[in-house]
Amino acid sequence: MVIIPFGISYAGLAIYFFAMSKVVHGSSNDFVGVLLIFGSAIFYAIYFIVCEKALKNTNPILFNSWAMLFAGFYALIQYFSNYNHITVLLEQAWQVYMLALFMSIFSTVIPSIFMVLGMKRVGVIPSALMNNLGPIITLVMSMTILGDSVSYMELIGVLLVILGVYSFRRFK
């Protein structure tokens, strides 16, 4: 009965994002942003389902490499649909290229490799549930590194996410 831990975790995420966003204050741009994030979550769930089927017959590193290749290809399509020239890409300072390289390696490639290797070992459902800890880890890092403050509602959301992830073993 894994639905209970998922429900607890997603309730926590909903409270966290609701408290964090300015939807509470009525800004339509923030509401659109929340809808876009929700749409992203749906597509990410589809990705997890595809991963489950693909990882049964495919090497996780190979699967991840193909996923990154297609993601990069579609990012280029998106770029060229907005900008009809390549000069903007080629006229940046070298620091921009280095930052892009490090960000692509440390925030995309390595985490996605860890994700597919973890999915292969523990399964898709535990991986998806553990993935709920991402916003919580980001919150803790923003508090410690950037000195951000946290509201009581955000803390309630965080505690529900942690409770949902922790309770997974009990309801499994």
Across the chain, mean pLDDT equals 82
Bigger pLDDT: 69 vs 12:
69
* pLDDT value of residue 97: 93
Please state the rounded mean pLDDT for residues 35-63: 84
- What is the DSSP track for 110-133? HHHHHHHHHHHHH-HHHHHHHHTH
- pLDDT tens for residues 79-100? 888 877 788 778 889 999 999 9
Whole-prediction pTM: 0.68
Instruction: Reduce the secondary structure of 139-170 to three states and give it as a string.
Output: HHHHHHHHCCCCCHHHHHHHHHHHHHHHHHHH
